[in-house]
Copies of this chain bind each other. A is one copy, B any other.
């Protein structure tokens, strides 16, 4: 029995090894999130017995040093110094894959646990890092990497663990939700994006948000936690919200819905997942449509409990810091046993999506026979048209109209769209969005 880092804490009639408390916490990165973590650790006196901020690492640390931190905190710009101090937990709040990957790997290898907010790192390397942690009787936690302050990972792993999950669907990117909410209210995408940038929701280059890459990394993590399967990020189809136009909101409203960036993963069969990220038509009465501003929302569906919905602040220093400190507290409670929560993520495969209804928006240079041509292509692939909508008042050479189709296989739709794309009447490439089912089908077993 080696007792490195472990203390025998005799309680009642049983002897129990615990981590020595308070856990000594080293913080990598002192930006918005890192500072907010330090604030909570310093301000909340009731945490003192459990968590102690011992070190802060940041480049040019001299300029960063905060007067409100205790004198006992060591400041450094050397990662080697952090490791040499043998912290119990390393909080990684630097972001990006490099050098975070190396630092997290070395921290876990040294026996420290890691709490990270890094969705890109975890989406790419979760299985390897979880296994590495297990080998060193350490833990890696990443609540802050998905949906900011909304404790969705903990809910899946703990509060809802008794259920058998079938689906996770959510609004995981606050920037897209902010933009699409404002477009619902009549703003153009350019104006809404500018507002998002002005408020600090969107970066100067908004690609990662609007093209779905940010949400996709988060979805990979939710799939891992809910199904213990790891899929390659690049295998998850991601659609951009860039082609969404004001006219789409008009048509969506006529169809009783609106448009949101949706991230969805479903278990097709063991090891096979259906996943999707991109704009989708959602029912006006749904939780998704009602989720406004930059808020995140996640709905988890299980075979026994039906749908449970979580919503709140998806970003921002303080909500993200709450997720990190919650993870730290979980480590302070946890023994060093590696339990099923740390079970490996097996490789998962993305398979074709289930049959779904779709919204197809065309912008054409009008001439007779266009609708006949489109509907003929759809019919040839056994796709039933549900509705055709055409608002008046648009120029003949740039005429938008919408065809909705009943639930159909994605492959059939793609084959039909290939034919349609080959026609020469398009003024813009067609926009294809899935139509999300209403929420009444997710009632629990009775």
Sort A-B residue pairs by CB-CB distance and give the 3 closest, nearest first: A151-B159, A162-B325, A154-B159
**Contact between B444 and A149, CB atoms less than 8 A apart:** yes
**Contact between A304 and B330, CB atoms less than 8 A apart:** no
Contact A311:B313 (CB < 8 A) given known A12-B136, A14-B137, A302-B322: no
Q: Smallest CB-CB separation from A147: which chain B residue? A: B308
**Contact between B330 and A446, CB atoms less than 8 A apart:** no
Contact A306:B319 (CB < 8 A) given known A159-B151, A159-B326, A326-B161: yes
Counting CB contacts under 8 A, is A329 at the interface?
yes
**Contact between A161 and B325, CB atoms less than 8 A apart:** yes
Counting CB contacts under 8 A, is A305 at the interface?
yes
What are 5 of the A-B contact pairs (CB < 8 Å)?
A: A16-B336, A149-B444, A162-B329, A163-B326, A335-B337
A309 partner residues in chain B, CB cutoff 8 A: 309-312
**Contact between A158 and B330, CB atoms less than 8 A apart:** yes
A305 partner residues in chain B, CB cutoff 8 A: 149, 312-313, 318-319, 322-323
Q: Beyond A11-B337, A12-B336, A306-B312: 10 further Cβ-contacts under 8 Å?
A: A12-B134, A149-B444, A160-B322, A162-B328, A304-B322, A305-B319, A309-B312, A313-B444, A316-B444, A318-B446
Counting CB contacts under 8 A, is A397 at the interface?
no
Taking a contact as CB atoms closer than 8 A, the residue among B2, B159, B317, B332 that contacts A14 in the complex is B2
**What 1/0 flags go to A313-354 for Cβ under 8 Å of B?**
100111101111111111011011111110000000000000
CB distance from A4 to the nearest CB of B (A): 7
**Contact between B154 and A158, CB atoms less than 8 A apart:** yes
Q: Smallest CB-CB separation from A163: which chain B residue? A: B322
**Contact between B319 and A444, CB atoms less than 8 A apart:** yes
Q: Smallest CB-CB separation from A330: which chain B residue? A: B158
* Chain A interface residues (CB < 8 Å from chain B): 1-6, 9, 11-18, 36, 39-40, 44, 50, 134-137, 143, 149-155, 158-164, 287, 290, 302, 304-313, 316-319, 321-330, 332-333, 335-341, 443-446
Q: Smallest CB-CB separation from A43: which chain B residue? A: B164
**Contact between A341 and B336, CB atoms less than 8 A apart:** no
**Contact between B329 and A161, CB atoms less than 8 A apart:** yes
A9 partner residues in chain B, CB cutoff 8 A: 337
Contact A337:B18 (CB < 8 A) given known A155-B155, A162-B324: yes
Q: Smallest CB-CB separation from A317: which chain B residue? A: B446
**Contact between A50 and B340, CB atoms less than 8 A apart:** yes
* CA of A160 to CA of B329, assembled, Å: 10
A12 partner residues in chain B, CB cutoff 8 A: 134-137, 336, 338
* CA of A312 to CA of B12, assembled, Å: 39
CB distance from A106 to the nearest CB of B (A): 17
A40 partner residues in chain B, CB cutoff 8 A: 162, 164, 304
A143 partner residues in chain B, CB cutoff 8 A: 159
Q: Which of A6, A153, A316 has the most CB of B within 10 A?
A: A316
**Contact between B306 and A149, CB atoms less than 8 A apart:** yes
**Contact between B159 and A159, CB atoms less than 8 A apart:** yes
Q: Smallest CB-CB separation from A134: which chain B residue? A: B12
A17 partner residues in chain B, CB cutoff 8 A: 14-17
* CA of A310 to CA of B160, assembled, Å: 12
A11 partner residues in chain B, CB cutoff 8 A: 137, 336-338
Taking a contact as CB atoms closer than 8 A, the residue among B14, B18, B152, B322 that contacts A162 in the complex is B322
Contact A149:B308 (CB < 8 A) given known A155-B154, A329-B161: yes
Q: Smallest CB-CB separation from A6: which chain B residue? A: B14
CB distance from A36 to the nearest CB of B (A): 7
